[in-house]
Amino acid sequence: MEAFVVRGGRRLRGSVRINGAKNSSLILMAAALLTDEPVTLRGVPRLRDTNNMTALLETLGRGFAVQDNAEQAMTARTDDPSRCTAHYDIVRTMRASICVLGPLLAKRGEARVSMPGGCNIGDRPVDLHLHGLRALGARIDLEEGYIVARTDRLRGTRVFLGGPFGSTVLGTANVMSAATLAAGTTVIESAACEPEIEDLAALLTSMGARITGAGSPRITVEGVDELTGADHQVMPDRIEAGTFMLAAAITNGEVTIENCPVDALTATLDRLSAVGVEVESDPAASPQDRMRQTVRVASHRRLEPVQVVTQPHPGFPTDLQAQLMALLCLADGNSIITEKIFPDRFLHVAELSRMGADLTRNGPSVLVSGVKKLIGAPVMASDLRASAGLVLAGLAAQGTTLINRVYHLDRGYESMEVTLRGLGADIERVSVPT
Ligand code: EPU
């Protein structure tokens, strides 16, 4: 098994270019099932999750082939439109497999998708996905662990997609994608407002779909009879950008971040500013597009404690909660982090405590009492973002941190250790016995 060895204490300096967004790429790739014409996606990051999605789509007769390595461009082509089963073996490796459900159903009239189980960050039900697709007229049964959905043609409708924890990102992607080929108009209320949903709507629109309101809680989709091929550039990864901002901050470093989607990071920038981290856009380098700015992140002074609540977009993202917690461990006072999306997403708390952090969990909240220093220790990565939080803690800690099970990190960060080394970090990937 692979692990990272991090020798902490180096200030990060230099520049990093943000890749295409993992969570956008996954729903865009699934949406390519909605047509049999070629769909090209540019800027798809090379990650375990995108590899798994490629493998899944191949089993569905809609393989993606590399078009241009430098541009990370891939094109989907159909070689067998009769395949409708997303098998357990692949779905269990990646919950995002559920987002083939809506596109398969709408295009091929049938979808059999293995029911995803829980995962390290919580139960993660899919009831809202099924509720939305049933509202569009799908007949859905659970058969031997598989969601089996069928339709002759979906029908447009008005559907409310809010749940106990707010909107659902992949649920909105599923229902919006399926509605593009429904007969009539669909209105999704309490839709997820995440920028990845806007990116998906942009791809679908260039495929001929008629969508308004993406990025707001009410999305309207006028169904069309068929969609065409398209060529689309994936948005930059806001979570990767936020993670490198926090890496700069925790090491008192100074890092320039290119291709940075500042427009999608307002809550993160607000909290960073409250902590005392400087983030400045360079208007000369990127005058127009607020999704592709060049920013300079610097932290030279003491860190102020803050209160943070994770919320659906545009609130503070749950996918940066662990990384922010690592930073606040070193703040000058008491911070409170409340997790409103996945209330049990705190597996990193015990590991950070092993590094000397002073953390008290109370239900969905953690009191983070700032300490003067973190101390390197062997720790166990338990999910993707928790692992990123531990890497950040290791970068700032005194001594050596061994982060086990980095395969979690490889799901969402492209060669993270190489990027960090480029910024001056002392980090290497090693093999350790299981
Ligand atoms: N929920 C339900 N019922 C459903 C679906 C969701 O109750 O049918 C609940 C969830 O349990 C959770 C909340 O609604 O409490 C929000 O979950 P959501 O459905 O929005 O999460 P997701 O779509 O499965 C995506 C990202 C996650 C990210 C969340 C929240 C992808 C592939 N995954 O998951 O990303 O944390 O939105 O922003 O886009 C990650 O990248 O590390 C990651 C976990």
Tens-of-pLDDT digits for all 434 residues of the chain? 999 999 999 999 999 999 999 999 999 999 999 999 999 999 999 999 999 999 999 999 999 999 888 889 999 999 999 999 999 999 998 999 999 999 999 999 999 999 986 677 877 899 999 999 999 999 999 999 999 999 999 999 999 999 999 999 999 999 999 999 999 999 999 999 999 999 999 999 999 999 999 999 999 999 999 999 999 999 999 999 999 999 999 999 999 999 999 999 999 999 999 999 999 987 777 668 899 999 999 998 789 999 999 999 999 999 999 999 999 999 999 999 999 999 999 999 999 999 999 999 999 999 999 999 999 999 998 899 999 999 999 999 999 999 999 999 999 999 999 999 999 999 999 998 87
Told to judge if 119 belongs to the known catalytic residues of this protein, a careful annotator would answer yes
Nearest CA to ligand 1 atom 39: 23
* Both tokens assigned to 3: 């692990």
Quote the CA–CA distance of 345 and 315 in Å, as a whole number: 17
Nearest CA to ligand 1 atom 28: 319
Does ligand 1 come within 6 angstroms of the Cβ of 41?
no
If you measure from the C-alpha of residue 168 to the centroid of ligand 1, how many angstroms do you get, rounded to a whole number? 6
Does ligand 1 come within 6 angstroms of the Cβ of 412?
yes
pTM: 0.97
Give the number of the atom of ligand 1 that is nearest the alpha carbon of residue 129: 8
* Both tokens assigned to 80: 């067998």
pLDDT for 123 equals: 79
If you measure from the C-alpha of residue 341 to the centroid of ligand 1, how many angstroms do you get, rounded to a whole number? 8
pLDDT for 382 equals: 84
Quote the CA–CA distance of 159 and 87 in Å, as a whole number: 29
- The structure tokens 């697709």 sit at 133
Does ligand 1 come within 6 angstroms of the Cβ of 280?
no
Residues found in the chain: 434
Quote the CA–CA distance of 23 and 25 in Å, as a whole number: 6
Quote the CA–CA distance of 246 and 252 in Å, as a whole number: 10
What are the strands, taking DSSP E only, across 213-371? Answer: 218-222, 230-233, 254-260, 278-281, 293-298, 307-310, 334-339, 358-362, 365-369
Q: For residue 334, count CB atoms less than 10 angstroms from its CB and return exposed for 0-12, middle for 13-18, buried for 19 or more.
A: middle
If you measure from the C-alpha of residue 289 to the centroid of ligand 1, how many angstroms do you get, rounded to a whole number? 27
Does ligand 1 come within 6 angstroms of the Cβ of 277?
no
- The answer, yes or no, to whether the previous bond of 45 is cis (omega within 30 of 0) is no
* Best CA proximity match to 246, nearest among 316, 344, 338, 334: 316
2-19+236-431 folds as: UDP-n-acetylglucosamine1-carboxyvinyl-transferase; Chain (3.65.10)
Q: Is 144 left (phi over 0), alpha (psi -120 to 50) or beta?
A: left
Q: For residue 142, count CB atoms less than 10 angstroms from its CB and return exposed for 0-12, middle for 13-18, buried for 19 or more.
A: exposed
Amino acid at 281: S
pLDDT for 37 equals: 98
Quote the CA–CA distance of 168 and 270 in Å, as a whole number: 24
Choice from 165, 197, 340 to test ligand 1 binding pocket (greatest atom count within 8 A of CB): 165
Does ligand 1 come within 6 angstroms of the Cβ of 47?
no
pLDDT for 326 equals: 98
Nearest CA to ligand 1 atom 17: 168
Does ligand 1 come within 6 angstroms of the Cβ of 26?
yes
**DSSP label at residue 128:** H
Quote the CA–CA distance of 362 and 340 in Å, as a whole number: 13
Give the number of the atom of ligand 1 that is nearest the alpha carbon of residue 384: 42
Quote the CA–CA distance of 268 and 288 in Å, as a whole number: 21
CA atoms within 13 A on the CB side of 271: 28
Q: Can 2-19+236-431 and 22-233 be said to share one CATH topology?
A: yes
The C-alpha torsion from 394 through 400 and 406 to 411, rounded to 10°, is 30
pLDDT for 286 equals: 65
Does ligand 1 come within 6 angstroms of the Cβ of 199?
no
* Both tokens assigned to 329: 């461990």
If you measure from the C-alpha of residue 189 to the centroid of ligand 1, how many angstroms do you get, rounded to a whole number? 17
If you measure from the C-alpha of residue 287 to the centroid of ligand 1, how many angstroms do you get, rounded to a whole number? 33
Q: Contact, 258 vs 403, CB < 8 A?
A: no
Contacts of 213 (CB under 8 A, 6+ apart): 191, 219, 220
Q: Of residues 84, 99, 119, 193, which has the active-site annotation?
A: 119
Element (H, E) at 211: strand 210-212
400-404 vs 378-380, strand pairing mode: parallel
Give the number of the atom of ligand 1 that is nearest the alpha carbon of residue 26: 32
CA atoms within 13 A on the CB side of 179: 31
Domain boundaries, the chain: 2-19+236-431, 22-233
If you measure from the C-alpha of residue 169 to the centroid of ligand 1, how many angstroms do you get, rounded to a whole number? 6
Give the number of the atom of ligand 1 that is nearest the alpha carbon of residue 121: 44
Does ligand 1 come within 6 angstroms of the Cβ of 238?
no
Question: In this structure, which CATH number among 1.10.10.1100, 3.65.10.10, 3.60.20.10, 3.40.50.720 belongs to the domain 22-233?
Answer: 3.65.10.10
Does ligand 1 come within 6 angstroms of the Cβ of 364?
no
pLDDT for 301 equals: 79
Does ligand 1 come within 6 angstroms of the Cβ of 45?
no
Quote the CA–CA distance of 111 and 139 in Å, as a whole number: 11
Q: For residue 123, count CB atoms less than 10 angstroms from its CB and return exposed for 0-12, middle for 13-18, buried for 19 or more.
A: exposed
Quote the CA–CA distance of 323 and 250 in Å, as a whole number: 10
